[in-house]
Amino acid sequence: MTSQRGEDEYRYKKVEQEISKHIIAGDLVPGDKLPSLRQMSTNLKVSISTVSHAYEELEKRGLIESRPRSGYFVRSEFRKIPTPLVNTAQKLEPHTVTKNKLIQTALETVGNKNLLPLGVVCPSSELLPTKHLSKIMSAVIRENPDLSINYESISGNMQLRRQIAFRSVDCGSNLTAEDLIITTGAMEALYISLRTLTRPGDLVLIQSPTYYCFLQLVESLGLRAIEIPSCPKNGINTKEFSAAVKKFDLKACILSPNFNNPDGGLTPDHAKKEIVELLAEKNIPLVEDDVYGDIYFGDTRPRTFKSFDRKGGVLLCSSFSKTIAPGYRVGWLAPGRYLEKAMEIKATTNVSCASPTQMAIARYLREAHFDRHLKKLRSAMKEQMNKMRTEIALSFPKGTKVTDPKGGSVLWVELPAGTDGIDLFFKAREEGIGIIPGSVFSTRDAFSNYIRLSSGALWSDKIQKGLKRLGELATK
């Protein structure tokens, strides 16, 4: 019975998703009549009752409306929502980062479990292999009591490093276990990279917008940053990048080529190659953040900068925080030719990472559960993002734009000019909704009318209502 019901639910959700997609894509515009129940049932090879159930759900969500004796129509209030454009007119100049206070406030929101988690980028635990990992953790601890209680080596658990190296073939990197240092999340990998490469006062290049924790780190290390615009579609523009590299005395570049947080930009592989070669020529190291690389919605995993690196100048940072277990804090760094110095920084920061969590993730990978899980996770993230985009299209003020990323787990929302993202952040927080204001993603006075929404939370009525309310708050 339950399995039959599960099957039905799966079928009508499929229909619902199919139709939403066409509306979002603009194939169906406001006022268009939907196929009749019978016709749709034939088209999609599902029962009439399944289609009827899907239509009802779409009506509840405000996407379509039924007109007496005429059938179902796309609601006229519904608009196709454009994606934000990249602003390339900005002047390139170094900035000292001073947004730490605002970022701290935003970060506290992320940690606040009483808020609707539209600010948290990690998938909610329903989408993570929670029970499976618990069992594995119990097993590794029981089977290796001594190993789990004792120190790991500075570079980290060898089994884990072997598994990461083995998987690096997917993104073209071909790492060995000896190339890797296990870190407390990707954040520590990035921190070690910047400590390895820079001294206070140095100039680094970042994408704009970029993840606010990077800005916070840059500020806390006393660095100055030059920002080059990132495009929600094609990520880093090689022309602008190359101009900046030639103009400034850069000590490092920090780039997220695969689904940049927050704008979701995906830098094409040919551009990656060009960037790596240019930097190799100029002898400028490149710190690569690839935490979202495994959450791609297309057919193949995008490559990394590291996969084009011939001279060891790319420091690849990643983690399992967005795919397996945020709280296990297991990340890694492949620091290329900076391995020795990076090990020194790791040793003097905290000696080594916790043993049990490394052992559990190593076993999870070794038992080959990861790929099956990733497949499900990717499909869930894609679906949730679509639903969120639809709700935003329905509820947000006219003039709102939202990204349509090819992977990752965030949407970058441009509100109509004049809307204050920080104001909206505080208003939303008061109503129990956690979001991140756009201006924390740049050192400049930019993105003040943007917000970032995470699609990591399992879709629910609560999320939908939260988005609707957010739309109302943004409209006022």
Binding site for its own copies (CB under 8 A): 100, 104, 107, 111, 122, 125, 128, 130-131, 133-134, 137-138, 141-142, 145-154, 183-185, 187-188, 191, 195, 199-200, 213, 216-217, 220-222, 325-330, 343-345, 347-357
Q: State the burial class of residue 430 (Cβ atoms within 10 Å of its Cβ: 0-12, 13-18, 19+).
A: exposed
Which of 229, 185, 419 lies closest to 435, judged by CA?
419
* Identity at 142, one-letter amino acid code: R
Residue 409 CB, nearest approach to its own copies (Å): 15
Q: Choose between 253 and 325: whose C-beta lies nearer to its own copies.
A: 325
Residue 185 CB, nearest approach to its own copies (Å): 5
Residue 149 CB, nearest approach to its own copies (Å): 5
Residue 168 CB, nearest approach to its own copies (Å): 22
Q: State the burial class of residue 231 (Cβ atoms within 10 Å of its Cβ: 0-12, 13-18, 19+).
A: buried
Biggest distance spanned by C-alpha atoms of the chain:
75
Residue 155 CB, nearest approach to its own copies (Å): 9
Which of 66, 12, 1, 80 lies closest to 44, judged by CA?
12
Q: Choose between 184 and 267: whose C-beta lies nearer to its own copies.
A: 184
Residue 150 CB, nearest approach to its own copies (Å): 5
Residue 337 CB, nearest approach to its own copies (Å): 17
Token pair 């009483």 is found at 114
> If DSSP codes are grouped into helix, strand and coil, which group holds residue 152?
coil
Strands (E), 144-267: 181-183, 203-208, 224-231, 235-236, 252-255
Which secondary-structure segment (H or E) carries 251? none
Q: State the burial class of residue 134 (Cβ atoms within 10 Å of its Cβ: 0-12, 13-18, 19+).
A: exposed
> If DSSP codes are grouped into helix, strand and coil, which group holds residue 227?
strand
What is the rounded distance in angstroms from the CA atom of residue 142 to the CA atom of residue 108? Answer: 36
Contact 263, 401 (CB under 8 A): no
* Identity at 441, one-letter amino acid code: F
Q: Choose between 343 and 467: whose C-beta lies nearer to its own copies.
A: 343
Specify which residues 183 forms β-bridges with: 331
Residue 4 CB, nearest approach to its own copies (Å): 28
Residue 382 CB, nearest approach to its own copies (Å): 22
Q: Choose between 195 and 233: whose C-beta lies nearer to its own copies.
A: 195
Q: What tokens does 215 get? A: 């800005």
Strands (E), 152-306: 181-183, 203-208, 224-231, 235-236, 252-255, 286-289
Residue 178 CB, nearest approach to its own copies (Å): 14
Q: Choose between 52 and 144: whose C-beta lies nearer to its own copies.
A: 144
Token pair 């069992």 is found at 135
Q: Would you list the DSSP string of 21-38?
A: HHHHHTSS-TTPBPPPHH
What is the rounded distance in angstroms from the CA atom of residue 288 to the CA atom of residue 183? Answer: 15
Q: What tokens does 48 get? A: 């009439």
What is the rounded distance in angstroms from the CA atom of residue 462 to the CA atom of residue 434? Answer: 13
Rounded to the nearest angstrom, the gap between the alpha carbon of residue 219 and the centroid of all alpha carbons in its chain is 22
Q: Are strands 71-74 and 95-96 parallel, antiparallel or unpaired?
A: unpaired
